[in-house]
């Protein structure tokens, strides 16, 4: 940033045209010779989840805890599978971005429930397992397979007690946080 010579502080960008950038408090000239870097995004939105599939629209959102790229690829695969809208939404429930520690717990739980639901759809499970977008792909094929299996076993051993303590963890949440955790 120290090397940037021309900082413009005229508020948020409202419109970019071929020869002018209009901001909240003024405008500046531009041309095709300029590189424009938009750094004013609010970041990951905290919008309430909506059904991913309707009869006329697909709303891309996270669905698992693994990868946003995997989610969007899987949404495309499920859309092309010929399933009913209800079945597509069952396989791809929205999983809102976490904004608080309690949201993170909710995000993990929804993601794990979604991934477990894929086991009942062999074509979906096969697609996930073979997708290069799956960050977990090939763990069992790793040269250190035994070490991976040991780590997976430790995770599964800890998972049950962690779920048992989830109620204790969430007891400290405020009513609005609890509503966010258990709404999904």
* Complete DSSP assignment for 116-168: HHGGG-HHHHHHHHH-TT-TTTTGGGSTTHHHHHHHHHHHHHHHHHHHHHHHH
60 inside domain: no
49 inside domain: no
62 inside domain: no
146 and 93 in a single domain? The answer is yes
Rounded to whole angstroms, the Cα distance separating 119 from 60 reads 22
75 and 35 in a single domain? The answer is no
89 and 153 in a single domain? The answer is yes
SS3 content of the chain, % helix, strand, coil (to 5): 45, 10, 45
54 inside domain: no
pLDDT tens digits, 161-181: 877 777 777 777 778 777 766
111 inside domain: yes
140 and 175 in a single domain? The answer is yes
Q: What is the pTM of this model?
A: 0.64
For the chain, the first-to-last Cα distance in angstroms comes to 41
Total domains present in the chain = 2
pLDDT tens digits, 78-111: 999 999 999 999 999 998 888 777 778 778 888 8
109 and 175 in a single domain? The answer is yes
């Amino acid at each position: 940033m120290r090397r940037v010579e021309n900082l413009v502080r005229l508020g948020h960008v409202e419109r970019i045209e071929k020869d002018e950038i209009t901001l909240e408090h003024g405008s500046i000239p531009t041309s095709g010779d300029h590189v424009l870097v938009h750094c004013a995004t609010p970041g990951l939105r905290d919008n309430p989840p909506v059904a991913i599939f309707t009869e006329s629209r697909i709303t891309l959102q996270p669905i698992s805890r693994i990868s946003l790229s995997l989610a969007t690829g899987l949404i495309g695969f499920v859309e092309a599978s010929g399933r009913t809208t209800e079945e597509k939404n069952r396989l791809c429930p929205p999983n809102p971005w976490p904004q608080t520690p309690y949201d993170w717990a909710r995000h993990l739980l929804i993601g794990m429930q979604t991934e477990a639901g894929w086991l009942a759809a062999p074509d979906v499970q096969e697609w996930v397992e073979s997708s290069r977008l799956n960050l977990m792909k090939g763990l069992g094929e790793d040269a250190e397979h035994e070490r991976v299996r040991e780590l997976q076993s430790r995770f599964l051993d800890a998972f049950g007690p962690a779920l048992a303590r989830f109620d204790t963890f969430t007891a400290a949440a405020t009513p609005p946080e609890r509503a966010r955790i258990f709404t999904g």
